[in-house]
Amino acid sequence: MHENYLTKKGHQKLMEELEYLKTVRRRELSKMIGEARAQGDISENADYDAAKDEQGMNEKKIAELEMKLVSCRILEYEDIASDQVLIGATVRIKDLDSGEELKYTLVSEAEADYNQNKISVSSPVGQGLLEHKLNETVEIKIPAGILKYKILEISRE
C-alpha cells in the first residue's frame, strides 16, 4: 500500500467528507430508495434505478476515502523545511515572462483544489517547484511550453 501525505487541514476535510457520506448521504439515499420502492414495481422504475446507482457511487466514494485515510501520513509543520519547497509549503513565485506573482500551496493529490491555489505535488508545476530554494529560478516544462518562475517566498500556513 503506497503512503500518501496530507496536511492536518486536508486530513480533517477528508474525515468530514467521509462522515457526511456515511451518515447524512446514506440516509438521504435510503429515503430515496424507499420512496421509489413505494411507487410499485421496481423492475421498470427509473427513480429506483437512479437511487440505487447513486447509492453504489456513494459506497465507492466511502471506500476510496477510507483507503486514502488508512494509508496517509499527516504532515506536521515541523516536517516542512522553511527554506525549501516541499509538500505543505506555500510558495510565492513570480512569472518571469509576464511579471505576474502567484501563490500556491503544494499538497497531495487528495487535497488539490486549484480554486484555492492548492496544487498537487504531482502536477507539472508542483513537481517543477519541489525541492527548490528561496530566490532560485525554476524552468518548468509543460505541454504549452516552458514556464520560468523565481521563488520569492516559502512559508508554512
Q: Is the predicted pLDDT of residue 124 greater than 80, yes or no?
A: yes
What are φ and ψ of residue 29, in 5° steps? -70, -40
- Stated pTM of the model: 0.61
Mean pLDDT, rounded, of the chain: 88
> At 40, is the pLDDT very low, low, confident or very high (cuts 50, 70, 90)?
confident
The dihedral of CA 37, 39, 41, 42: what is its sign?
Answer: negative
Is the domain of 8 the same as that of 59?
A: yes
Is the domain of 136 the same as that of 102?
A: yes
How many domains does the chain divide into?
A: 2
Is the domain of 137 the same as that of 71?
A: no
Is the domain of 114 the same as that of 125?
A: yes
Q: Which domain holds residue 85?
A: 77-155
